[in-house]
Structure 1
Amino acid sequence: MPVSASPVPVSPLSEAVFLSAEAAEGVAPRFTATVPLTALRDDVVTATLWATARGVYEAEVDGVPVTDSVLNPGWTSYEWRLTYQQFDVTDTVRGGHDDVRLTLILGNGWWRGHLGFGDADADYGDEIAVAATLEVVYRDGSVQRVSTSDAWGAAASDVTRNSLYRGQSVDARLREGGAPLAVRTSEIDHGVLAPQTSPPVRRHEAVPAQRVWRSPSGRTLVDFGQNLVGWLRFTVQGSRGDLIRIRHAEVLEDGELGVRPLRSADATDEFVLSGGVDAFEPTFTFHGFRYAEVEGWPGELRAADLEAVVVHSEMARTGRFSCSDPLVTRLVDNSVWSQRGNFLSVPTDCPQRDERLGWTGDIAAFAASASFSFDTADFLDSWLQDLRLETEHAPDGAVPFVVPAVLKYANFPAGHLSEWAGPTAIWGDAAVWVPQALWQAYGDADRLAAHYPAMAMHLSSIEPLISERGLWERGNQFGDWLDPDAPPEDPAAAKADAAVVATACLYRSASFAAEAAAVLGNDAEAHRWRGLAARTRDAFVRHYVDDDGIVRSDCATVYALAITFGVLEGDLRSRAAARLAEIVRESGFRVTTGFAGTPYVTWALSETGHVDEAYRLLLEKECPSWLYPITMGATTVWERWDSMLPDGSINPGEMTSFNHYALGAVVDWIHQVVGGLRPAAPGYARVRVEPRPGPGIEWAETSLRTRQGEVSVAWRVASGELTVEVALPDDVPAEVVLPDGRTVEVRGGGHVFTSTL
């Protein structure tokens, strides 16, 4: 083992090499080294382990796991940013006996995960590898470092198959010792190594099984009562060599496990028993599921035998909401569960099928909602670092529609994704809208500066596509994706004109880029983007809006965007708002918007004097609506308004998920308008309290732990009078806007107001 007493190197892994093993793809190799210490254990002052992997790894010192985090090092744009982790193992090293034993177990993870959908089968490389360095500092000031090298040994672990999509197999018989494996080494490109800044992925809670029963075909099914992301954990004893097989799914169909939406993701774990008491927990995979099908369990399976472990990136819960309508409260809870399941290393579209990609459009729509419910500052900052890197290296200079952009390695036929090439509205606008949400939530100017270059790259990539008329009507667009009137097989066939959507989005992005540049003191850039925004607005109004405020394609989405993004002003805005309200009434208050319009339609209504229509749209229960899935038992937000049809069958479309947060972006409006808690300055340095009661909700309570401290708003309507209770952190100013026209300035502490409605 390399041992030295030199000063700490610039890179903690500078002496390490990557270790890989000659093993079948599904096998997780176990690398080991036994290290004699150069001084007594009692003389150890500190001991630190640094590690990373092309794949995912688990590390132990003297048989003790070094961390309770899982799926390290997570998923980043590996080509330019492979993160390493640092663990304090002082107590373990100091408290042991004899030589120190180091163990690294290596799984496929995202590096060799056959990622994507259809035939994508995208991998970063053919071989997985792990690297680590243990540094021990002694009382006399000497330093001992031990790094991965060709002196390490390797053997097969008890993990015989591991895949994020397909599941994991564990053979407890191999815990007695697996077959030795030949070790290969390769050099680390230290230029791509970076310390981890994103929060680690952890187990957060265990959900007990609620019910065990037999399906119509005689299969054993288990319901955990909540659609979640993670895996099952259990202890069992049976005959040596017996196999337990567990399949996972989000829903049931015809009384059986509904696996069709998973497409090629098998989501199946297998466990081979040793004959003794075996504990199983498949930590090299994860599943999106509420239900499990269990085969081969020794004896009768009881609900108490299994628990579901909830896994996601660590984020502090910051925002909460409840109200008099339990379905609306459940809608907000569902958005929280969908965020938890899809904030696993990167913000994904869905956590269960053969996709699980960092789609930019989803988080562009949901970032504001996400940053209220949880502290997302570090999580989304890390992802935005990758977005910038991917954009800098993109051959067309455009923001990729998934980040990390793993689909560049897909095995699709040439040109298969050509219709999605180039800058796209909403998806590409994540480069602007996600930083905008973070700026409003946290007010961090340093991070705004770090995110600004990607904003500029995105807008620069659009400029060549702006037509002579000043409109973004060239290039390819997703448009109002998943418009509820689009056929299941063509989710892009929306009512909203794609160029109208794109041009409105361009105006919003240019406007915020100008604001960001001004905040950062870049007057030239601010002037550039203000000019682009002004030209875009003029062109939009000239070519897309008539004198009566009718916007081209005359559907809810185009009005929602034009109003909420501030494209329309004055009488045109009022007329457009009246038309939007008319469309909403004509639809019977059912949702008619897709990804583009859904986050903004209630905003456009309530901010233009149509609060009642906004509430009725929110509270509608017939499909399509936000509450329809809840009446069907949903515990997360669905990808489609009708992912499950009223008869209990699954939507026939190939693309059907029951855990997608994008359409849950309405909760941003719920927090700010129904709840009444808004930022009046970035980072809630100043607060605006403006609850807007409407028909169907009699009270609401909202709280948010801001960078300044806890803010809460509670209101109740009784006998035509509104009572509002506000609690503010010390010295934080707030403007309280009441329905009777008063605006009251307060600072810190608790306050109570009453107002006529």
Structure 2
Amino acid sequence: MKTVSAHGLAGEDVLAGSLFHFTASMIGPACDGGQATQGTFVAREFSLDVVPAEAVLSLSALGLYRAFLNGKRVGTDLLTPGWTCYDDRIAYQAYDVAKLLQPGNNRIEIWLGDGWYRSQLMWASNPILNCWGDRTGAIAELRAGGEVLVKTDDSWKSGFTPVVRNGIYYGEDYDARIRPKDSHGVDVLSFDRALLVPHETGAVKELDALSPTDSWTEADGRTVFDFGQNAGAYVRLRLKGVAGAKVRVEHSEVLGPDRFFDNRNYRSARAEVSYTLSGQGEEDYAPLFTFFGFRYARITVTGEAELTAITMVPITSVPLTAGGFTSGVASVNRLVENTIWSQRSNFIEVPTDCPQRDERLGWTGDAQVFAGTACWLADSQSFLKKYLRDVIHDQRANGAVSHFSPDPTRLHPIGGRGDWAGSTGWGDAIVIIPWQLYLHYGDSAALEECFPAMLRWLDYLWGISDGPIIRPPAVWGAHGFTFGDWLQPVGDNRKPRPTIADDCAATLYHFISTQLTAKIARILGETVEAARLEKRSEEIKTAFRHEFFAPSGRIAHNDQTSWALAFLYGLVPPEYEEAAQGYFRRVAEETDGVIGTGFIGTPALLPALTRLGMVDLAEKMFLNRKVPGWLYQVDRGATSIWERWDALSEDGTIYDPDMNSYNHYAYGAVCQWLFEDVAGIKPLEDKPGFEEVLFDPAILPALSPVCAWHDTRFGRIEAGWTLEEGFVTCRLVLPEGVTARLEGRSERKSLQANGANVEQGKEIRLGAGEHKITFSN
């Protein structure tokens, strides 16, 4: 089966990827009972005298679809047509189905699920149902050689599927005793075909199935399976038994003390599967229209049935890993692996915060802090561009950017919390994500597409307080409200450590986005806007100094986030540099290595320390095994990244299950530092897309040996180093088309590249091939 992506690629085959112009109608099953009722299908029989050599089926849906031709599944894509702002555009897929056709009678059947289109979105206190519509429907057109063989119209039939109920949060109930049969007609639905676009990124796919690593039976007879990995996934079951026997599958991410099965953190998400056997020999089942976030599955069998096999099937939109990092510390290597799993689990059509609870939303703050890491670990170009189109569509008339996108609250405002848009650090995704796409892929088209939205966002920021300093209101949802450094740890609550204030955090991001958009304007040739924004960024910088720096050089809140962001983005006045570094070092040392940063501060902390030469502190904080810390999670058995530093206590107790995800990629943003600073492969804005890199590894002795690789548009870059008795040996491999800059810095004694001395203060360039660089540390 050949699946046509937005790029026209179909595995090893290539089909035309041009825009398809549908002549078919969007049709809805007349028997559709609405959201949370039994699933339905639309179907049509047609006859062929001769099977064509190539026949392409193009189709989409309101809701989710699973298509069959002559009883065989069409394609292997999952959760099609995907998730977008459906009032802006809906993806369609195209498949070469010639091998599924037969001479004589043929039957096409399209099963429909509620999906994101109309099943519950948001949490129990503010559930949104039927967000984009209350009718599911399908549009399909089968063509061969320019001839329409069959298409959806009012002649189709409809009926009920074995999917008794489904929903993204709900899960799926399936009764295999039900055989689909034509029982009703269809309704031609009002639908604008101009909304249909080719799928803009890779389809969701299955990864290799995982077998259980352990299992046990609870006192009441239920069996728990441990798959050894937390993932966005579903289970595949093989069963045998009598008709009417049932199997129930519950999911959880963690176990409480004494292996207590605990999924309270799923909140109102039922997140279960129920399967009723047909009694027809061995039966195989995996959900069609949903997925879960879990490591553990608990099986309850009712009636005469036997589970003969069970596997976990992880799913993702980014199945291919594009980068890797290993060191001499096993738990660091596991941390990188955990980040890869959290990206896979949450890069399912949209970059979501989590795959398990009643949320699973495309939070912009999480996405912007992780965007750089996302591009290192997977080819995220088309995935993030698709997401940015939803962010642009959700942007409010006043320029505020949604907290998450696609945003159900734009169409269905939630009372009592104001507009769910406009937080600094979150809305800045409209600037920062396109910039990362430019750095990693040389994608200036992403900059151009997002540039008008960037300008509207910057005008919104300036307007919050009518000037360079942003003074956000404390009331949730009020105009200009900010999440600040979300989940920033404060230490002992009897004597909490200092944290960044909202005005400082908001103004920092005001500067970051303004300065960055000025650069983008220059790249795009928007010289007038560039000059205006450069002037504005200087105004913000001057105001920031006046508002937040004391004459001693101390920043107002003297916390790790304030210092890290101020240093990393050039907001520390030069005359305060020496004093400021002293304050920053002291603030980092006072915590004895534990982290004092939340969502926006964490990605900046280690890069700031490293680039200031405080590699000893960066190493200590990174390798800290106490809470809060990255390796604390690994030591507690984490196989993905946690939402909260303190998500699980040392005795295994769950902290605050009402807001606690164990698969939340944001803190995995530290991997960008591992690639760019520790391995030393820095992409350059003047030669984007890895046409040229700066090779500048930071030597953290405890991590030796370090090895990293990354697949670029030119091929694979490899870099690594070892430290032995104060002597560093680096290996750098560059593909054709890539060059690397190497600087003769004063702290690198006896620097040599391929046996030739590199003078201090000089810069050389290395071309394609393998290079050996040595120096004394």
Report the TM-score range of the alignment, normalised by the length of the smaller protein: over 0.9
Q: Which residue identity does 1:455 align to in structure 2? A: M
For 1:29 and 1:252, locate their aligned partners in 2 and report how far apart those are by CA, in whole Å. Answer: 37
Moved more, 116-125 or 230-239: 116-125
Structural mapping, 1:101-116, within 5 Å = 101-116=107-122
Specify the alignment match of 1:129 in structure 2. Answer: 136
For 2:304 and 2:729, locate their aligned partners in 1 and report how far apart those are by CA, in whole Å. Answer: 59
Specify the alignment match of 1:331 in structure 2. Answer: 335
* Residue 657 of structure 1 pairs with residue 681 of structure 2: no
The structural deviation recorded for 1:543 is 1.1
Specify the alignment match of 1:403 in structure 2. Answer: 405
Which of residues 86, 89, 96 is equivalent to 1:88?
96
* Secondary structure at the counterpart of residue 306 of structure 1: strand
Q: Which residue identity does 1:124 align to in structure 2? A: C
Task: Please list the CA deviations of residues 338-364 of structure 1 after superposition, one character each: whole Å capped at 9, or x if unmatched.
Answer: 000000000000100000001100001
Q: Normalised by the size of structure 2, how large is the TM-score?
A: 0.90
Moved more, 186-195 or 15-24: 15-24
Distance 1:469 1:676, change over 3 A: closer
Specify the alignment match of 1:18 in structure 2. Answer: 27
- The question of whether the paired residues in 1 share the 8 Å contact of 2:735 and 2:768 is answered with yes
- The question of whether the paired residues in 2 share the 8 Å contact of 1:16 and 1:148 is answered with yes
Task: Please list the CA deviations of residues 613-641 of structure 1 after superposition, one character each: whole Å capped at 9, or x if unmatched.
Answer: 00100000011101101100000000000
For 1:604 and 1:723, locate their aligned partners in 2 and report how far apart those are by CA, in whole Å. Answer: 25
The structural deviation recorded for 1:486 is 8.2
Instruction: Give structure 1 regions of 4+ aligned residues with deviation exceeding 6 angstroms.
Output: 297-302
For 2:405 and 2:578, locate their aligned partners in 1 and report how far apart those are by CA, in whole Å. Answer: 38
Structural mapping, 1:139-538, within 5 Å = 143-175=147-179, 177=180, 180-215=183-218, 218-254=221-257, 255-276=259-280, 277-296=282-301, 305-391=309-395, 394-410=396-412, 412=414, 414=415, 416-418=416-418, 421-468=420-467, 470-471=469-470, 473=472, 475-485=480-490, 495-538=499-542
- Which 5+ residue runs of structure 2 have no aligned equivalent? 1-16, 474-479, 752-762
Specify the alignment match of 1:666 in structure 2. Answer: 670
The structural deviation recorded for 1:335 is 0.7
Which of residues 692, 702, 710 is equivalent to 1:686?
692
- The question of whether the paired residues in 2 share the 8 Å contact of 1:399 and 1:428 is answered with yes
- The question of whether the paired residues in 2 share the 8 Å contact of 1:21 and 1:29 is answered with no
Distance 1:171 1:301, change over 3 A: closer
* Secondary structure at the counterpart of residue 294 of structure 1: strand
Q: Which residue identity does 1:19 align to in structure 2? A: G
For 1:428 and 1:85, locate their aligned partners in 2 and report how far apart those are by CA, in whole Å. Answer: 31
Distance 1:464 1:591, change over 3 A: same
Distance 1:301 1:145, change over 3 A: closer
Specify the alignment match of 2:776 in structure 1. Answer: 756
Task: Please list the CA deviations of residues 217-267 of structure 1 after superposition, one character each: whole Å capped at 9, or x if unmatched.
Answer: 553111000001110002110111001001001001132211110001111
Specify the alignment match of 1:97 in structure 2. Answer: 103
Q: Which residue identity does 1:405 align to in structure 2? A: D
* Secondary structure at the counterpart of residue 703 of structure 2: coil
The structural deviation recorded for 1:156 is 0.9
For 1:197 and 1:78, locate their aligned partners in 2 and report how far apart those are by CA, in whole Å. Answer: 14
For 1:731 and 1:366, locate their aligned partners in 2 and report how far apart those are by CA, in whole Å. Answer: 27
* Secondary structure at the counterpart of residue 311 of structure 1: strand
- The question of whether the paired residues in 1 share the 8 Å contact of 2:327 and 2:705 is answered with yes
The structural deviation recorded for 1:269 is 0.3
Distance 1:173 1:557, change over 3 A: same
- The question of whether the paired residues in 1 share the 8 Å contact of 2:88 and 2:195 is answered with yes
* Residue 629 of structure 1 pairs with residue 633 of structure 2: yes
Q: Which residue identity does 1:191 align to in structure 2? A: A
Aligned residue-pair number? 732
Moved more, 110-119 or 460-469: 460-469
Distance 1:299 1:101, change over 3 A: closer
Which of residues 582, 588, 600 is equivalent to 1:584?
588
Which of residues 695, 706, 726 is equivalent to 1:720?
726
The structural deviation recorded for 1:720 is 1.1
Q: Which residue identity does 2:199 align to in structure 1? A: Q
The structural deviation recorded for 1:30 is 1.9
Task: Please list the CA deviations of residues 563-588 of structure 1 after superposition, one character each: whole Å capped at 9, or x if unmatched.
Answer: 11222242423432321221111101
- The question of whether the paired residues in 2 share the 8 Å contact of 1:577 and 1:604 is answered with no
Specify the alignment match of 1:3 in structure 2. Answer: none
- The question of whether the paired residues in 2 share the 8 Å contact of 1:335 and 1:661 is answered with yes
Task: Please list the CA deviations of residues 491-534 of structure 1 after superposition, one character each: whole Å capped at 9, or x if unmatched.
Answer: 9x982111101111111111110111111111011112111111
- The question of whether the paired residues in 2 share the 8 Å contact of 1:70 and 1:200 is answered with yes
- The question of whether the paired residues in 1 share the 8 Å contact of 2:216 and 2:224 is answered with yes
Specify the alignment match of 2:14 in structure 1. Answer: none
Task: Please list the CA deviations of residues 686-710 of structure 1 after superposition, one character each: whole Å capped at 9, or x if unmatched.
Answer: 0111111124212110011111211
* Residue 696 of structure 1 pairs with residue 707 of structure 2: no
The structural deviation recorded for 1:653 is 5.2
Which of residues 535, 547, 569 is equivalent to 2:551?
547
Which of residues 44, 51, 55 is equivalent to 1:47?
55
The structural deviation recorded for 1:407 is 2.4
For 1:714 and 1:80, locate their aligned partners in 2 and report how far apart those are by CA, in whole Å. Answer: 45
Distance 1:65 1:498, change over 3 A: same
Specify the alignment match of 1:4 in structure 2. Answer: none
Distance 1:527 1:54, change over 3 A: same
* Secondary structure at the counterpart of residue 240 of structure 1: coil
For 2:628 and 2:717, locate their aligned partners in 1 and report how far apart those are by CA, in whole Å. Answer: 34
For 1:469 and 1:516, locate their aligned partners in 2 and report how far apart those are by CA, in whole Å. Answer: 20
For 2:119 and 2:625, locate their aligned partners in 1 and report how far apart those are by CA, in whole Å. Answer: 40
- The question of whether the paired residues in 1 share the 8 Å contact of 2:421 and 2:427 is answered with no
Q: Which residue identity does 1:239 align to in structure 2? A: V
For 1:436 and 1:77, locate their aligned partners in 2 and report how far apart those are by CA, in whole Å. Answer: 23
Q: Which residue identity does 1:568 align to in structure 2? A: V
For 1:315 and 1:442, locate their aligned partners in 2 and report how far apart those are by CA, in whole Å. Answer: 18
The structural deviation recorded for 1:178 is 5.1
Q: Which residue identity does 2:78 align to in structure 1? A: V
Distance 1:169 1:626, change over 3 A: same
Moved more, 370-379 or 700-709: 700-709
For 1:408 and 1:486, locate their aligned partners in 2 and report how far apart those are by CA, in whole Å. Answer: 37
For 1:239 and 1:299, locate their aligned partners in 2 and report how far apart those are by CA, in whole Å. Answer: 6
Distance 1:294 1:470, change over 3 A: closer
For 1:33 and 1:56, locate their aligned partners in 2 and report how far apart those are by CA, in whole Å. Answer: 19
For 2:77 and 2:113, locate their aligned partners in 1 and report how far apart those are by CA, in whole Å. Answer: 15
- The question of whether the paired residues in 2 share the 8 Å contact of 1:22 and 1:184 is answered with no
Q: Which residue identity does 1:417 align to in structure 2? A: R
Specify the alignment match of 2:81 in structure 1. Answer: 73
Calculate the aligned-residue CA RMSD, in Å.
Answer: 2.3
Q: Which residue identity does 1:47 align to in structure 2? A: A
Q: Which residue identity does 2:365 align to in structure 1? A: G
* Secondary structure at the counterpart of residue 561 of structure 1: helix
For 2:775 and 2:730, locate their aligned partners in 1 and report how far apart those are by CA, in whole Å. Answer: 8
Q: Normalised by the size of structure 1, how large is the TM-score?
A: 0.93
Moved more, 277-286 or 691-700: 691-700
Specify the alignment match of 2:46 in structure 1. Answer: 35
